[in-house]
Amino acid sequence: MIKLIFKSFYMGCIILIILAILGCSQITGKAVGVPQESAKNPEVYFCPETDCSKIFEEKIESADFSAHCAFYDIDLKKVISALARKSKTADVKLVIDSDNYEGQIKGEGVRMDDGKQLMHDKFCVIDDGIVLTGSFNPTDNDNNYNNNNILVVYSSWLAQNYEGEFQELWNGEFGKGNRVKHPVLKINSIKMENYFCPEDDCAFRIANLIKDAKSSAKAAFFTFTSEKIADELLKAESRGVDVSVIVENRQRNAKNSQYQRLKDFGMDIKLDNNKYTMHHKVLIIDGKIVVTGSFNPTLSADTKNDENILIIHDEEIANRFLEEFGKL
C-alpha cells in the first residue's frame, strides 16, 4: 500500500514537472508571426512612360552572386545582353514559356516549360534580396507600346517566396508546387501578401478582397473571364461600393469574357483606348490595397498556368496605381 501511494505520488510529480516545463516553454518560447524587416520601400514604375527595360537591366547588372528570372516572353536585346554579361560573374538562370522561346537566349542557364500550360510568370530574384515583378514582359512591345507596371521590392522574405517558385520551375514542376512559404509579410510598415497560382488559389484571394471592399474597387484587366470575380464585383456594387473596370479592347469578345455581362448589369466598365495593348492585371481596393502581378482573372490562370500575385496594403502605392488607372 505504501509502495502504491509512493508510486502514485512519484508519477504525479513527474506529470507536474512535465506540465511546468511545457507551460514555461509556452511562455518563454518565441512565437512564429508575420515576418518583418526594415528595407528600402518598394518602387513602382509604369511603362511605356518609364523605360522599364532599364529597370531590369540595372537590377540584373547590380547582382553580386545571382539573378534568377522567369519570363513568359523576352526579346529586349538590352535585357538579354545584361543577363549574358552577368552570367560570366554570377549564377544567372532563366525560365521561359516554351511557346515564346525562339533561341533568343541560349546556354545551360536557360530552361523552358513543358508546354502543357502557360508559364506566365514575370519576375526576377536578385541576390536573394530583391524581387522585380508585375505585368511587364521584357519585350519591345511591353516596354515601348503596352501599358504595364513593375514593382521592385527589397525583401529577403519575399525573395524566399519567389526563389522557391523559381526553383520549382527550374526543376520542371509546372502548373503545381508547394504553397507559398510566407504568404503575409511586412516591409517597414507596409503589409504585403504573396501567392502563386494554381497552388495558392489566387482567384479566391482576390474575391475575398472584393468581398471586404468598403468604398471602391477599381480594376484594369488585360483579359477578364472569371465569373467568380465578376460576381463579387457585382455584389460589391449592389452594396454601394464604387466599382469601375477597364478591359483591354481586343479581349472584350474573348470566350467567356465578362465585359458584356457586366455592361448589361449597368456596371461602369470601359474598354481601353491604347491602340496597342492595355496589359495591366491590377485591382485597387478602397484606395489603399493593390493587387498586381502576372494573373489575369481567368480560369486557366487560376487552375492551370504558373502565375503570381502581390497584394500591397499601402495607401501611397495605391495612389500611384490610381493615377495610372485615371490615365487609362
Q: Which residues are catalytic?
A: 279, 281, 286
Length in residues, the chain:
328
Q: Round to whole Å and give the CA distance between 46 and 131.
A: 16
> Could you give the 3-state DSSP secondary structure of residue 131?
strand
Q: Is the peptide bond before 138 cis (omega within 30 degrees of 0)?
A: no
Question: Would you state the cell numbers that stand for residue 163, as one nine-digit string?
Answer: 526563389
Q: Report which of 200, 202, 182, 201 is spatially closest to residue 192, judged by C-alpha positions.
A: 182
Q: Are 125 and 156 in contact (CB under 8 A)?
A: no
Buried b (16+ CB within 10 A) or exposed e, 102-138: eeebeeebbbbbeeebbbbbbbbbbbebbbbbbbbbb
Which cell numbers hold the place of 159? 525573395
Query: Residue 216, class by beta-carbon neighbours within 10 Å (0-12 exposed, 13-18 middle, 19+ buried)?
Result: middle
Per the structure block, which three cell numbers stand in for 166? 523559381
| Cα dihedral 179, 216, 313, 328 sign | positive
For the record, the C-alpha cell of 237 comes out as: 456594387
